[in-house]
Structure 1
Amino acid sequence: MTNGIFISFEGPDGAGKTTALNTLLPMLEAKTTKEIITTREPGGSPIAEKIRDLILDVKNLEMDDRTEALLYAAQRRQHLVDRILPALEADKIVLSDRFVDSSIAYQGGGRQIGEAEVKSINDFAIEDTMPELTVYFDIPSEVGLQRIKKDRDGQQDRLEKEKLEFHQRVRHTYLDLQAQDPKRIKVINANQDPTQVVEDVLELILTKFPQAFSK
């Protein structure tokens, strides 16, 4: 058993979850005595970061979809044992930019290789370690892709370059996951002013964990 708090941030490409997480960090730190660490997937630890580079490299167009799913599960396992579990055992708060739901949405739904199949290999990787709260940033796929093109000046990784239909399947899978697990996965409207998005997420976290944060 761990003593810390594990929160994941999820959403389609262009939803703004990474920006929101970075903005939220000092706000949350001001309201708790616990240490907060932020991390990301794919990556988050040295070996996992090397796997990240392999997965997202735009040159690896020949990568098989199942190979991709297995690589995501592999980096997740390494990330978990290197970074997440030690932090939770030390009574810290972990904010992770993506976790298991991303694989189910992107590889299971987006790649259409099966949500149950992707969940199975990730169950093996994480050994029942799941976030207590998952903040899902929802945004129409068209809007998210437009944001990426505008903000990154055409610089996109291998998954971001996929067609609109791929990203729509990803979003629909996320929404299905939320419907299946509404207690853990909470929806935030990411298609609104970024300041309001941050305020909504902050209120959600403070309400969910009153024992750790003061209002």
Structure 2
Amino acid sequence: MDETGGASGALPARRGTAPGWFVCFEGGDGAGKTTQVRLLTDELERRGHPVLVTREPGGTRLGEQIRDLLLHGGHVAPRAEALLYAADKAHHVDQVVRPGLAAGQVVVTDRYTDSSIAYQGMGRGLGRDEIRRLLHWAVRGLLPDLTIVLDVTPETGRLRRGPVHDRLEAEADEFHAVVRQGFLDLAARDPARYLVLDAANPPEEIARQVLGRLEAVWAAAAHASAGGRRSRLGGIPTSGERA
């Protein structure tokens, strides 16, 4: 075992108490999050890193049941909707995310707390700060090391989704415009933890930018953990190398 709490060659310790890393993809419906999750996961696994891919709502048996209710069921009152999303996140973090981080994995999730802040807090008009406080309690304050916001206009998102829509996707473009601004506002408040990218760009270019930012985040952490000594790798440590 090395000083990061994992086997020699593990990733550098994250900014927290667990040795893993937490990466989140956010954005409006049709932004291409699923594609980018796959591209990042493929590259990290190619480099020999342990990756855990998950999503919200979902990621657990209970989460999938909540997902089906929220996205494919009938009408749900806005406050009930917010509470169901919070319940999904609380269970997901407890059962999937924290164990993955504790095991030294790179946990990559398709949506996290920002989606609820943007959709329920802003889109449903329940209040950004109110939903933020609810989610902070639900996930016990756990934040991603890096959140990538794939910015897409409501019109482009609708075209990409095609004719079939779930309950939230079916909302009017005005709703999705408010949600989009919600994501952008969140990113603007904490630019060090966010990367905002134009979802209209080619997927390969977006993936390159995501990987570049993640390399920078990991290199900075390696630099800090080394007491000011720069990692000779200058980025994501390769399999079998220590940061």
Per the TM superposition, whether the score is higher than 0.5 is yes
Say yes or no: does 1:100 pair with 2:100: no
Query: CA offsets per residue over residues 132-157 of structure 1, 9 Å max, x none?
Result: 110111122211111112xxxx2211
Q: 2:168 — aligned with what?
A: 159
CA distance, structure 1, for counterparts of residue 40 and residue 185 of structure 2: 27
Paired with 2:202 and 2:22, the residues of 1 have a C-alpha distance of: 26
Q: Distance in 1 between matches of 2:105 and 2:203?
A: 27
User: Which residue of structure 1 lines up, in the alignment, with residue 154 of structure 2?
Assistant: 141
C-alpha distance in 2 between matches for 1:7 and 1:24: 10
Q: Does 1:170 align with 2:179?
A: yes
- Return closer, same or farther for 1:3/1:214 CA change in 2, 3 Å cut-off: closer
**TM-score, normalization by structure 1:** 0.92
Matches within 5 A, 1:63-82: 63-82=76-95
Cα RMSD of the aligned pairs, angstroms, is 1.4
Partner of 1:131: 144
Residue of structure 1 in register with 2:32 after alignment: 16
Partner amino acid, structure 2, of 1:116: D
CA displacement 1:35-71 (0-9 Å, x = unmatched)? 11100000101111111111111x412x100100000
The 5-angstrom pairing of residues 36-51 of structure 1 reads 36-51=51-66
TM-score (norm. length: structure 2): 0.82
Q: 2:128 aligns with which of 100, 111, 115?
A: 115
Cα distance in 2 for partners of 1:30, 1:126 equals 30
Decide whether the 8 Å contact of 1:110 with 1:169 is kept in 2.
Answer: yes
Distance 1:88 1:195 in 2: 27
Corresponding residue SS for 1:187: strand
- Alpha-carbon distance between aligned partners in 1 of 2:237 and 2:95, rounded to the nearest angstrom: 30
Q: How many pairs are equivalent?
A: 208
Q: Say if 1:192 and 1:34 are closer, same or farther in 2 by CA, change over 3 A.
A: closer
1:162 deviates by 0.2
Residue identity over aligned pairs, in percent, reads: 40
Structure 2 counterpart of 1:213, one-letter code: I
For the pair shown, the structure with the greater C-alpha radius of gyration is 2
- In the TM superposition, what whole-angstrom CA distance separates every residue of 1:68-110 from its partner, at most 9, and x where no partner exists? 0000000000001110000111111100100000000000111
Letter in 2 for 1:127: R
Q: Which secondary structure state, in structure 2, belongs to the residue aligned with residue 23 of structure 1? A: helix
Q: Deviations over 1:167-188 (max 9, x none)?
A: 0000001111011111111111
The one of 173, 185, 188 equivalent to 1:179 is 188
Distance, in Å, in 1 between the alignment partners of 2:215 and 2:237 is: 7
Structure 1 runs of 4+ with >4 Å offset = none
Query: Any idea what SS the aligned residue of 1:209 has?
Result: helix
Structure 1 residue 213 corresponds to structure 2 residue 227:
no
Residues 34 and 91 in structure 1, CA contact (< 8 A), matched pair in contact too: no
Distance 1:23 1:16 in 2: 11
Q: 2:43 maps to which residue?
A: 27
CA contact (8 A) 1:28 1:213 kept: no
